[in-house]
Amino acid sequence: MKRIMVTGGLGFIGSYFVRMALERGYRVVNVDKMTYAARTDLDFDSHPHYEFIRADIAELKHLPVGMDYIVNFAAESHVDNSILANHDFFHSNVRGVYNLLELVRAKDETDRPVFVQISTDEVYGTIHEGSFREGDRLCPSNPYSASKAAADQLVLGWKQTYGLRVMIIRSCNNYGFGQYPEKLLAKTIEYLLLGRKMTIHGDGSYRREWLYAEDNCEAILTLLERGREGEIYNVSSNEEHSVLEAAEMAAQAVGVDPKDAFVFIPNRPGQDLRYSVDCSKVRALGWRPQRTLADYLPEYVAMYRRKLGLD
């Protein structure tokens, strides 16, 4: 039975990953600091192959013994917060990764887990046409993406210098239940269900690719099982919508006329116009996303209605 140390496994994507890994027969040790973004509605706590350690990845002194992989989801993840106060982003996203890499390096070479860094398409910055490949230059535009790009560079440096076994996975915008309602779709659905208007930065025309979190976690498990160590992999559905289009789809799923749903506010600094990544490397391993945003939204809204006690 393989063992995975997951960090940030109480967060939005990490919690999908923990559940899926337990279902696949992995043993999971989840290290999470329990920031404001950690979920409190999860049900895998009593699973016999699950262990929880409340800790900050930047302060952790030892790794659990006998791990085959570390999958590092732990991060501060909201761009707006990074613009207002960037300290925690440097602490968790850069110092945290540095500390984990050093803890792996301190282990005997025969006992080193593979270090899997969960990164983002945002590290590449804007692309007007086409899609970024894994070898393209990083060009982050805000403190969040800069901290994630810095972490990717640390991982590559520790691989080259110290021979660490690593992998970097850069995925596009994820959606799914359990996302903290600061992110676009969760906030749109929550606000509209509560009769409030949703705010959109600028004119909402900036484009993103949208991926269901479970599809993302399936890709991560595929890469653990069939990917090549030392490689970088992009993961995307290549389903592209502008932020306004995605929010309008959410409004329609809630049953609110998009014309009455939004208030437009000044754009934030560091706003990239378009993200897009080529994911032929992970597709060559047989992975395909199973859901589209339009498929998922009715289920998402129904779950949100129950969460808010509206049904």
Ligand X SMILES: NC(=O)c1ccc[n+]([C@@H]2O[C@H](COP(=O)([O-])OP(=O)(O)OC[C@H]3O[C@@H](n4cnc5c(N)ncnc54)[C@H](O)[C@@H]3O)[C@@H](O)[C@H]2O)c1
Longest dimension (CA), the chain: 60
Choices 62-70, 100-108, 172-180, 284-292; region in contact with ligand X by CB under 6 A: 172-180
Q: Does 303 bind ligand X (CB under 6 A)?
A: no
Choices 50-58, 97-105, 134-142, 194-202; region in contact with ligand X by CB under 6 A: 50-58
Reply yes or no on whether 275 is catalytic.
no
Q: Does 180 bind ligand X (CB under 6 A)?
A: yes
Question: CA angle, corner 216, sides to 269 and 122, nearest 5?
Answer: 20
Q: Contact with ligand X (CB under 6 A): which of 5, 13, 63, 279?
A: 13
Reply yes or no on whether 121 is catalytic.
yes
Q: Does 186 bind ligand X (CB under 6 A)?
A: no
Q: Does 17 bind ligand X (CB under 6 A)?
A: no
Of the two residues 94 and 251, which places its CB atom closer to ligand X in the complex? 94
Q: Which position among 32, 56, 122, 215 bears the catalytic label?
A: 122
Reply yes or no on whether 122 is catalytic.
yes
Q: Which position among 32, 76, 121, 215 bears the catalytic label?
A: 121
Residues 192-211 that bind ligand X (CB under 6 A): none
Of the two residues 99 and 252, which places its CB atom closer to ligand X in the complex? 99
Q: Contact with ligand X (CB under 6 A): which of 3, 19, 33, 281?
A: 33
Residue 33 C-beta: closest distance to ligand X, Å: 4
Choices 55-63, 102-110, 126-134, 265-273; region in contact with ligand X by CB under 6 A: 55-63
Q: Does 82 bind ligand X (CB under 6 A)?
A: no
Q: Contact with ligand X (CB under 6 A): which of 4, 21, 29, 57?
A: 57
Q: Contact with ligand X (CB under 6 A): which of 142, 174, 222, 234?
A: 174
Residue 210 C-beta: closest distance to ligand X, Å: 9
Of the two residues 56 and 248, which places its CB atom closer to ligand X in the complex? 56
Residue 51: C-alpha distances to residues 32, 38, 96, 172 (Å)? 11, 16, 20, 29
| DSSP H or E segment with residue 155 | helix 143-162
Residue 234 C-beta: closest distance to ligand X, Å: 11
Q: Does 8 bind ligand X (CB under 6 A)?
A: yes
Residue 259 C-beta: closest distance to ligand X, Å: 27
Q: Please answer whether residues 216 and 13 qualify as being in contact, where contact means their C-beta atoms are separated by less than 8 angstroms.
A: yes
Q: Which position among 16, 26, 124, 144 bears the catalytic label?
A: 144
Of the two residues 58 and 155, which places its CB atom closer to ligand X in the complex? 58
- What is the phi-psi region of residue 229: left when phi exceeds 0, alpha when psi lies from -120 to 50, beta otherwise? beta
Three-state SS for the chain is CCEEEEECCCCHHHHHHHHHHHHCCCEEEEEECCCCCCCCCCCCCCCCCEEEEECCCCCCCCCCCCCCEEEECCCCCCHHHHHHCCHHHHHHHHHHHHHHHHHHHCCCHHHCCEEEEEEEHHHHCCCCCCCECCCCCCCCCCHHHHHHHHHHHHHHHHHHHHCCCEEEEEECEEECCCCCCCCHHHHHHHHHHCCCCEEEECCCCCEEEEEEHHHHHHHHHHHHHHCCCCCEEEECCCCEEEHHHHHHHHHHHHCCCHHHCEEEECCCCCCCCECCECCHHHHCCCCCCCCCHHHHHHHHHHHHHHHCCCC
Q: Which residues bind ligand X (CB under 6 A)?
A: 7-8, 10-14, 32-35, 37-38, 56-58, 73-77, 92, 96, 118, 120, 148, 171, 173-174, 180
Catalytic machinery residues = 121-122, 144
